[in-house]
Chains A and B, each alone.
Chain A
């Protein structure tokens, strides 16, 4: 029973992932394929002076997306969890339904919305908040906005799931003991859902690092992320080993936060156990 899926995923998932690292050590062939022999030249192309800026932008945009998603998802998750059972169902469904529609189309919808002759620009013009030649598209702001839009549910769901299990009497107790509402929220509620917050960080940050469609459709040449470079090398230049080297870099970038959070959680899990054991 194990064999079919195990073999399938080994051949079409595990092997290709390892191939990213192997092909990064291959030369390119002029026909757009993969050359013979082994070389370090492909890895040397990573020293391209444009790359540090692109890597920095990828990290910056992903970190900002994660921070904004957490900032918005935490109060929303809290509110949904505190609503009555009936409203909880309704609100949760309302939050998920838009994301049942195609990702590409949602990105396109923003392109229409932010278009120079689109509704948002007209509204801002009418309110005197924008000048006729200001551009809402093709910059980092547009990319960040739509990244937050796309990845927010990945933050809301784990935070809501933890908040729903949170014992809200603890907040009342903190208030009875004199804590102000906001203080209790920060010092009692947030530590209570800490695990979910870390899950949310991973669920947003990792896919954000691999963003490609959003900067491609809404960003300009000055808001390219590493995903755009990988696609350019693979399609425009037909240099697969070069695309492979960049992908290897991205793979390591994706693995690092995963391992870090797992490590943090493991250490935290051990500590309370030790604290409980002490008298």
Chain B
């Protein structure tokens, strides 16, 4: 039986389509040419200039602060939520699940504008704190979903065994459930961390003076500056960081699943 080559061809074409822009961007960050139309020689000049840019370092600091804060908060809230969703099947938990699931579907633009309206109406000053609140909000759902998936594979009889051996509920949770669940929680946390350092749209809406994060800084550089190659260099660095975190999150998640 002869199979059509069309599906294979489409797949190959898609891979080229997916990787081409990223490859060009990384190559151009070492290209002496301003617009990257042609190769004009290897240079590290764009990276050197980037490191001298103070506003970029400030944005790095903000991004790291918010990512660490939002990761910690969302890991605690998301893990608790996953426990509750897993253990109980009540009407309250069904509402809880809906509340957990909805932020995954809502376009980030709507989440951004609704949080902006909320912060303005409630009289919050826009700044690092509002960005932290917003990031925690969208990270909770991702952490909860990752941990919930791991909980569903968890062998409940291990907890019963611990109880039979005399452990109280808290000890069994702390000494048996949490260590076994740790890789799932770590994977969720790394995912939250990547989402936080990458987010532009929501941050753009809820950030104020002095709370510029790296993506927001990159955006204004794209919009207003003529230093395109410097953005290439910055993008290449950020790409490697998020890529590393996403890869680690996947590896940890897989090892636990296996």
Contact = CB atoms under 8 A, between A and B. Distances in A.
B222 interface: yes
A14 B107 contact: no
Contact of B140 (A2, A5, A121, A231): A5
B100 to A, nearest CB: 7
Contacts of A98: 18-19, 22
Contact of A76 (B11, B117, B239): B11
Contact of A110 (B21, B108, B201): B21
Interface string B1-32: 11110111011001101111110110010000
Interface residues of A, number: 77
Given A9-B140, A13-B99, A181-B3, A240 B239 contact: no
Interface stretch (B54-62, B131-139, B161-169): B131-139
Contacts of A227: 107, 109
Contact of A244 (B93, B117, B137): B117
B51 interface: no
A121 B103 CA distance: 39
A12 B7 CA distance: 44
Interface in B158-215: 194, 198, 200-201, 205, 215
Nearest to A93: B250
Interface string A92-124: 001101101111111011111101011101100
A213 B118 contact: no
Given A15-B118, A75-B10, A79-B11, A101 B81 contact: no
Contact of A9 (B19, B37, B121, B137): B137
B49 interface: no
Nearest to B143: A5
Given A14-B99, A109-B235, A206-B105, A8 B140 contact: yes
Interface of A is mostly: helix
Contacts of B18: 94-95, 98, 149, 152
Contacts, number: 227
B116 A12 contact: no
Interface residues of B, number: 82
A72 B13 CA distance: 10
A222 interface: no
A230 B14 CA distance: 32
B25 to A, nearest CB: 4
A33 interface: yes
A234 B7 contact: no
Nearest to A207: B107
B109 A210 contact: yes
B200 A119 contact: no
Given A100-B242, A104-B218, 7 more contacts: A13-B114, A17-B106, A75-B7, A76-B7, A112-B21, A112-B25, A115-B228
14 contacts: A1-B84, A4-B77, A6-B92, A19-B114, A79-B7, A100-B243, A102-B242, A111-B222, A119-B36, A119-B37, A172-B1, A207-B107, A217-B222, A244-B113
